[in-house]
Amino acid sequence: QGQLVESGGGSVESGGSLRLSCAASTSTDSRTYMGWFRQGPGKEREGVAEGVAVIDSDGRTSYADSVKGRFTISQDNAKNTLYLQMKALKPEDTGMYYCAAGRRAFASSWLPLTASAYMYWGQGTQVTVSS
């Protein structure tokens, strides 16, 4: 039982910035991790979503190589909100962005960027970057 709702998407020119937000109603604990994924136009969610960034309850993060140095993932635990600050946006960043939540079955520092590791998904928010 849970719900994730993304917001903050829009259209920007290359080099611009956007901040995405994800309000979560799902419960979390020390084993919970949350991430951002994206899909190009016309792509299916499973098997094609690209992992962008992930953060766990301790604030540890991991990023896809394609966004390192440009994107920052963060969370406000008091508000149950996940954020993705995107800077220096490129046309190839265009896509539907989804927030997702998963939970480790064991104690570890695993920070997955694979869609199969997440069980809760939002409906997505569109990001379009023009050249």
Interval 23-78: pLDDT, tens: 998 677 788 999 999 998 766 555 578 999 999 988 999 999 999 999 999 999 88
Residue 16: the pLDDT is 98
The answer to whether 45 and 115 are in contact (CB under 8 A) is yes
Contact of 4 with 23, CB cutoff 8 Å: yes
What pLDDT is recorded for position 84? 98
Asked if residues 96 and 124 have their Cβ atoms less than 8 Å apart, the reply is yes
DSSP collapsed to 3 states, the chain: CCCEEEECCEEEECCCCEEEEEEECCCCCCCEEEEEEEECCCCCCCCCCEEEEEEECCCCEEECCCCCCCEEEEEECCCCEEEEEECCCCHHHCEEEEEEEEECCCCCCCCCCCHHHCCEECCCEEEEEEC
Q: For 71-97, write each residue's pLDDT tens digit.
A: 999 999 888 899 999 999 999 999 999
State how far Cα 2 lies from the chain centre: 16
Average of per-residue pLDDT across 10-25? 96
What distance in Å separates the CA atoms of residue 25 and residue 13, rounded to the nearest whole number? 32
- Please tell me the predicted confidence (pLDDT) of residue 70: 98
pLDDT at 95: 94
Confirm if 41 and 101 have CB atoms less than 8 A apart: no
